[in-house]
């Protein structure tokens, strides 16, 4: 059928999976398929780094204690590491 990768990615991906299941390898869009497989690893790595960074920042914020005494301001901020 040859669905256009640029115009409808979801339909293209569905078509590629059907071709793989049916072992119709000669009909695969290898150029775009290889590109997508390569991007999977880098996207996952980027997402992991981002999530770890957010988790680390969240953990630091949980350890920050602000005194609740009357008249307290940000100059009394204490960071416990």
Alpha helices in 1-81 (DSSP H): 9-21, 30-63
With 0-12 / 13-18 / 19 or more C-beta atoms within 10 angstroms meaning exposed / middle / buried, residue 44 is exposed
Please state, for a pLDDT cut of 90, what percent of the chain lies above it. Answer: 38
Residue 22: what pLDDT?
A: 95
Tens digit of pLDDT for each residue in 24-33? 999 999 999 9
> Looking at the predicted structure, is the pLDDT value of residue 68 above 60?
no
27 CB contacts (<8 Å, ≥6 apart)?
2, 19
At 67 the pLDDT is 47
């Amino acid at each position: 059928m040859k669905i256009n990768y640029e115009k409808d990615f979801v339909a293209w991906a569905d078509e590629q999976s059907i071709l793989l299941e049916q072992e119709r390898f000669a009909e695969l869009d290898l150029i775009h398929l290889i590109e997508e497989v390569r991007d999977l690893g880098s996207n996952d790595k980027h997402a992991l780094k981002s999530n770890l960074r957010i988790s680390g920042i969240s953990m630091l914020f949980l350890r920050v204690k602000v005194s609740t005494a009357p008249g307290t301001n940000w100059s009394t901020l204490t960071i416990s590491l």
